[in-house]
Amino acid sequence: MSEVGTVENPLRVAIIGAGPSGFYATEHLFKQKGLTIEVDLYDRLPTPFGLVRNGVAPDHQKIKSVTAVFDRTAKKPGFRFFGNVELGKDITVEEMRQYYHALIYTTGAQTDRPMNIPGADLEGHHPATEFVAWYNGHPDFRDYQFDLSQERVAVVGIGNVAMDVARILCRTPEELKQTDIADYALDALSKSNVKEVYVLGRRGPAQAAFTTPEIKEFGEMEDADVFTIPEEVELDPLSEASLSESADRGTQRKVEIIQSYASNQPTGKSRKLIVRFLVSPTELFGDENGRVKAMKIVHNELYKTDAGSLRPKATDKTEVLDVGLVFRSIGYRGVPLPGVPFNDSWGVILNEDGRVINPDTKQPVPGEYTAGWIKRGPSGVIGTNKPDAVASVDLLLTDLRDGNLIAPTTPDAAAIAALIAARQPHYFTYADWQKLDELELANGAAQGRPRLKFTSVAAMIAALGK
C-alpha cells in the first residue's frame, strides 16, 4: 500500500467531539500541504458546535458567530460529520482503530466539581452546568426543574459561567426574548419570582476569574440594580502590591468597575444582584422538606503562598444568607470515555501534552490524541482551544512522519459510513445539520428571535423526516 497521506491512501482521522476544539483540530489538519487527509467528526448529539451551542449564554450572540468559521471548515473536501453517534454505544474505540490512522478526543469538560460541605445534598442545590445546559436547550437537560419560585438565589463561584447564570436569572422577559434561549426556559424565567441574586467569590476583586465585559454587563441590565460591599472590594495590601507589580491594565479596569458598584444606590428596579468577595460557603441549611433555605458563609482573608500566589483562608467571622436556590460554579471536569484512559483526580483524559498515555506502560497509545478541556482542564475562553488543538495535531503529524500511528485494517471511508448507518440509522450528516439550522432560524424569525432551537433528539429527527 502507498504511503499514508497520499491520494491513494489518505490519512484518515476520527475526531470525537464536535465543539470548538474538534473544529480547530480539523481546520489545522486541512491546512497541511502535500497531505491528503480525510476527517470524520463525531458527536453524540445531532448538532455540532458543543459549548458554543449548549454553553455560551443566549444573550451573547456575538460569541456564537465563531460558528461561521466552523462552517467554512466543514465545506472542505474530505470532511464528514457523524452526529447522534455515541462512542461506547454505537461504536467502540477498538472498532474505530480498524478504520482510522488516528483518533482525537475533544469532548470538553461536561460536569461540575462537587461542593463538599454539609447540606450539599439538599434539594435546591444544583451544578451551574445543569442550569446552563437547561436554558440553552441541551436535549439531556430539557426536562430538568429549577425552583424559580424562590426569591433569593446564591451562585457560588466567580468565573464567567457564574456571571452568566446570575445575569440570566436577572434578565427581563423582554431581554430574553431577543436571544435564542430555549422556549421552555424563556417561559419559566418569565414567571420567575427571583428578586435577589448573590454571586460569591472566595478571593478578592483582583483575583476574580470573570472577564471585564462580564462585570460591565451587570450594570447594563434593564431591571436589576448591581451592588458590591465597600469593605469587600477594597484591595488588601497583598492584592495592591500584586496588581501594581503586574501592571495589568485589564485587571485594574475590572477592579475599578467592581468598586464602582459599591457606591450604587437602589433605583427602584425589581431585582438586586449583589457580588460578594472574600466569602466561602461552609454549610447549607434545609427546611423540614429537605430543601435549601439558607447558606452559612465564612469571611476570608488572603495570604501569599510559597509559590507567590494569593490564596484565601477562613477567619472567625461568619454570616447566614437566606437563600432558597443555590448554583455552584466552582470548576469543571471531564467525563471518562469508554475505552479511553482517564485521570480521575484531574478530570481529564490521561495524556502527555496531547498524546494519550497507556496507564500500565506509561507510554503513548499509538495514534490517540486529545485536545481542549478534556486534555488540559477547564481554562481559557473558546479561542484558547485553537493553539491547544494545533499543538495536539502537530504531535499527530510528527508521529505520522515517524510511523507511529495506527495501522488500520480497513482504512476505507465507505466502510465506516456503512457501519455507522447500520448501527445508528438516525445519524446526522452536516447537510442534515444545515437543514435543521435553517428550520431553527426560520422558526426564530417568525417570533422575532434569532433562533428557536429544537431541544429533543426525537424532534430533530422528526423535523428532517429521518
According to the 3-state scheme, what is the secondary structure of 76-98?
CCCEEEEECCCECCCECHHHHCC
- The H or E element spanning position 355 is strand 355-357
Contact 262, 227 (CB under 8 A): yes
Cα–Cα nearest to 107, from 17, 33, 211: 17
Positive or negative CA dihedral for 199, 200, 206, 209? negative
Residue pLDDT, tens place only, 248-268: 788 999 999 999 999 999 999
Q: Which residues of 367-402 are buried (b: 16+ CB within 10 A; e: fewer)?
A: bbbbbbbbbbbbeeebeebbebbbbbbebbbebbee
Give pTM, 2 decimals.
0.94
The three three-digit cell numbers of residue 49, written as one number: 458546535
Cα–Cα nearest to 156, from 331, 328, 333: 328
pLDDT of residue 110: 81
Strand, helix or coil at 32?
coil
Q: 33 vs 5, 29, 55, CA distance in Å? A: 10, 9, 34
Q: Which residues pair with 310 in a beta bridge?
A: 304
| Surface-to-core class of residue 439, CB atoms within 10 Å of its CB (0-12 exposed, 13-18 middle, 19+ buried) | middle
Share of the chain above pLDDT 90, in %: 90
Confidence of residue 417 (pLDDT cuts 50, 70, 90): very high
Integer-rounded Cα radius of gyration of the chain: 24
Contact 378, 335 (CB under 8 A): no
- Enumerate domains of the chain plus CATH numbers: 11-110+334-428 (3.40.50.720), 113-331 (3.50.50.60)
Phi, psi of 446 (to 5 degrees): -65, -25
DSSP 310: E
User: Rounded to whole angstroms, how far apart are CA atoms 243 and 234?
Assistant: 13
User: Rounded to whole angstroms, how far apart are CA atoms 209 and 17?
Assistant: 26
Contact 50, 1 (CB under 8 A): no
pLDDT of residue 386: 93
pLDDT of residue 382: 82
CB neighbourhood size of 201 (10 A):
26
User: Rounded to whole angstroms, how far apart are CA atoms 170 and 158?
Assistant: 16
DSSP 293: E
Average pLDDT on 234-246 reads 89
Share of the chain above pLDDT 70, in %: 100
User: Rounded to whole angstroms, how far apart are CA atoms 177 and 180?
Assistant: 8
pLDDT of residue 376: 92
Residue 187 or residue 247, greater confidence: 187
Q: What is the dihedral of CA 244, 245, 247, 252, to 10 degrees?
A: -40
pLDDT of residue 436: 98
Confidence of residue 308 (pLDDT cuts 50, 70, 90): confident
Q: Which residues pair with 40 in a beta bridge?
A: 14, 80
Q: What is the amino acid identity at position 115?
A: M
* Least confidently predicted of 241-245, 283-287, 360-364, 391-395: 241-245
Phi, psi of 379 (to 5 degrees): -150, 150
Q: 359 vs 87, 109, 350, 365, CA distance in Å? A: 20, 21, 8, 10
**Residue 123: which region, alpha, beta or left (left: phi > 0; alpha: psi -120 to 50)?**
beta
Contact 324, 86 (CB under 8 A): no
| Surface-to-core class of residue 258, CB atoms within 10 Å of its CB (0-12 exposed, 13-18 middle, 19+ buried) | buried
pLDDT at 276 over 80: yes
**Residue 380: which region, alpha, beta or left (left: phi > 0; alpha: psi -120 to 50)?**
left
The overall longest dimension of the chain from CA atoms, in Å, is 75
User: Rounded to whole angstroms, how far apart are CA atoms 327 and 155?
Assistant: 5
pLDDT of residue 247: 67
Average pLDDT on 6-28 reads 97
Q: At what angle do helices 249-260 and 237-246 cross, to 10 degrees?
A: 140
